[in-house]
Structure 1
Amino acid sequence: MRFVVTTSHKPTREEVVNARTLAEELGVKYVSRGRLREFEKESPVDFYYVFDKNGQLSIKAGQSVFFFHPGMSKVRYKNIKLQNSDYLINSMELSGEEVVLDTTFGLGNEALLIAHFLPRGKVVGLEASEHIFRVVAHGLRNYPYTDEWIREASTRIELHNINLREFVKSCADNSYDIVYCDPMFDRPQLSSHSINPLRPFAVYERIIRSDVDEMIRVASKRFIIKSRTRDTLFEELGLHFDRLWGSKKSGVLYGVIEKK
């Protein structure tokens, strides 16, 4: 895809420096925001990176804007406080010192939630998409958090730009306490306004049984995989779960395999 780096309108000096630095790192052009429309007429692009005044990095593609925001982690945290009703967190059975491998990081909302319950542990996240990784990694470090629990959780996340298949094969047996996988759904939930801008940049490589076997191998306590009731992933994988549960309302299922 063709892209450039720019800033918000009337940028500060820091924005311009950050944008120029990123453009140089990526080997693409820096285009000032005032010249962007003229530049696109001569050299059309698929999207552009934008450094904003609040220190955030986003991607604008047409009318869609992709940016990091921890909103869903806040909603789920509130539900846990009110009802103790989060299937993923309950599935993990965290003591607080585990190292959790999140093989499909995405926006990182679930990783932030998990990391909150790991005061002496951490989450190691893998994101195969270069562009999603760049925006989310920047956001984790620079987002203006208003909730202290999310800011603290963000410091216990280590994010890598790598394909899960490549990474997991290089890991020794039982390298992580828990391994979690949340692949893209067969039938996307198009009503999800936070996920939709991410879709053009996501890696849609299908999870297969050999991937799962590798992930189970590197987990010392348990492996957890997410799907939806109307998807066919679990049937294709042919796995026997020790627990399979989720929300009827959302149609989300978590399959749990315990390491004996």
Structure 2
Amino acid sequence: MGVSDAELMAQAVVTTPRDPAVWQVARATELARIFRLPYVKRGDRSLDELLERFSAVVAVADPARIHMRGASHALFFHPSMAAQRLDRRHRRGEPDRLLRAAGVQPGDVIVDGTLGLASDAIVFADAVGMNGHVVGIEQSALVARLMQAVQHCGCKAYPDAAGLLRRIEVLECDHLTWLRQQPDDSVDVVYFDPMFRQPTANSPSIVPLRQAASPQPLRDEVISEARRVARRVVVVKERPQSGVFEQFGLTPDRPRGQFAYGVWRKYV
């Protein structure tokens, strides 16, 4: 069993590459502020040596790569499938499956209750436009602060995705706690993409995220609060055979396949 989020953050630090340039030292200082972690000088120590002492090392990159003890790959920002989805939507005029399932419109207010690396939230931010609003809730402090670091520092490798990420209100908190504080019918769409219980493959992008993210499955009270807060739709991404759609009374957009979007509409 891995360490908890609190334990991970309590044993994490920020550092630079070996023989850092002046700007890398400055970036490390800025990342230490954003992650709320101590900055330690790298010296001649390898990352493996640092991970013998610390549970996670946030290293200066573009803007940061997070190395966790026991993880085979680093955690860093990338748009994943969002880039392809945006390209298909804008260049080819193809409808996006999630946007269609959720009925997203320009100007909508959308809550992504399981932000992760913000792949879906970036698509939402593009779709709702400048007059809309996307709230991204992430329980893992390490993941939430990574997203905030990208918002603050940018990302040269993925500038378009980073620009859309800046439109998202990233909150580091539990989604149930946040939902309980919201008025009835105060957002248009509430969306969840919890970690699948059984991953299909050991993707280099998913393995470190799985180690850092909350392992909690969705609970009845979360869906109940989401239904109260949503004006129109609650959507959950899951496997059709998982039993989750039946548990929460959701209608899958596809009955078969690797995943489906389970939809509940307030007014049919």
Shared fold (TM-score, shorter chain, > 0.5)? yes
Match in the other structure for 2:43: 34
Could you tell which deviates more after superposition, 60-69 or 79-88?
79-88
1:258, distance to aligned residue in structure 2 (A): 1.1
Instruction: Provide the secondary structure at the position in 2 that maps to 1:65.
Output: coil
Q: Matches of 1:135 and 1:199 in 2, distance apart?
A: 15
For 2:195, which of 170, 177, 184 is the aligned residue? 184
Task: Answer yes or no: is 1:13 the counterpart of 2:25.
Answer: no
1:16, distance to aligned residue in structure 2 (A): 1.2
Could you tell which deviates more after superposition, 152-161 or 128-137?
152-161
Q: Matches of 2:190 and 2:254 in 1, distance apart?
A: 18
Match in the other structure for 1:205: 216
Q: In 2 relative to 1, CA 38–163 (structure 1 residues): closer, same or farther, beyond 3 Å?
A: closer
After superposition, the C-alpha distances for 1:39-67 in whole angstroms (9 at most, x for unaligned) are 94796222201112x4x112012542100
Percent of paired sites with the same residue: 27
After superposition, the C-alpha distances for 1:87-114 in whole angstroms (9 at most, x for unaligned) are 2111122220001011100010111111
Instruction: Provide the secondary structure at the position in 1 that maps to 2:67.
Output: strand
Task: Answer yes or no: is 1:167 the counterpart of 2:174.
Answer: no
For 2:53, which of 34, 44, 57 is the aligned residue? 44
Instruction: Provide the secondary structure at the position in 2 that maps to 1:104.
Output: coil
Give yes or no for contact 2:14–2:58 (8 Å, CA) kept in 1: yes
Q: In 2 relative to 1, CA 206–228 (structure 1 residues): closer, same or farther, beyond 3 Å?
A: same
Instruction: Provide the secondary structure at the position in 1 that maps to 2:226.
Output: helix
Counterpart of 2:155, as a letter, is: Y
Give yes or no for contact 1:187–1:231 (8 Å, CA) kept in 2: no
Match in the other structure for 2:85: 76
1:133, distance to aligned residue in structure 2 (A): 0.6
1:86, distance to aligned residue in structure 2 (A): 2.8
Q: Matches of 2:12 and 2:112 in 1, distance apart?
A: 29
Q: Matches of 1:126 and 1:38 in 2, distance apart?
A: 30
Give yes or no for contact 1:228–1:253 (8 Å, CA) kept in 2: yes
Task: Answer yes or no: is 1:155 the counterpart of 2:166.
Answer: yes
Give yes or no for contact 1:185–1:231 (8 Å, CA) kept in 2: no
Task: Answer yes or no: is 1:108 the counterpart of 2:115.
Answer: no
1:221, distance to aligned residue in structure 2 (A): 1.3
Structure 1 residue runs without a partner (length 5+): none
Give yes or no for contact 2:110–2:188 (8 Å, CA) kept in 1: yes
1:85, distance to aligned residue in structure 2 (A): 4.6
1:27, distance to aligned residue in structure 2 (A): 6.5
Q: In 2 relative to 1, CA 154–166 (structure 1 residues): closer, same or farther, beyond 3 Å?
A: same
Q: In 2 relative to 1, CA 163–78 (structure 1 residues): closer, same or farther, beyond 3 Å?
A: same
Counterpart of 2:178, as a letter, is: F
Q: Matches of 1:101 and 1:159 in 2, distance apart?
A: 10
Task: Answer yes or no: is 1:61 the counterpart of 2:68.
Answer: yes
Task: Answer yes or no: is 1:4 the counterpart of 2:13.
Answer: yes
Could you tell which deviates more after superposition, 150-159 or 127-136?
150-159
TM-score by length of 2: 0.84
Q: Tell me the number of residue pairs that the alignment of Structure 1 and Structure 2 aligns.
A: 253
After superposition, the C-alpha distances for 1:159-201 in whole angstroms (9 at most, x for unaligned) are 1001101100111101111111111112123332211111111
For 1:136, which of 147, 153, 159 is the aligned residue? 147
Counterpart of 1:222, as a letter, is: V
Q: Matches of 1:108 and 1:98 in 2, distance apart?
A: 17
Give yes or no for contact 2:35–2:145 (8 Å, CA) kept in 1: no
Match in the other structure for 2:3: none
Could you tell which deviates more after superposition, 105-114 or 39-48?
39-48
Instruction: Provide the secondary structure at the position in 1 that maps to 2:124.
Output: helix
Counterpart of 2:108, as a letter, is: E
Aligned pairs for 1:107-126 within 5 A: 107-119=117-129, 120-126=131-137
Q: In 2 relative to 1, CA 210–49 (structure 1 residues): closer, same or farther, beyond 3 Å?
A: same
Instruction: Provide the secondary structure at the position in 1 that maps to 2:81.
Output: helix
Q: Matches of 1:193 and 1:147 in 2, distance apart?
A: 21
Match in the other structure for 1:252: 259
Counterpart of 2:94, as a letter, is: N
After superposition, the C-alpha distances for 1:97-144 in whole angstroms (9 at most, x for unaligned) are 001011100010111111111112021110000001111221244112
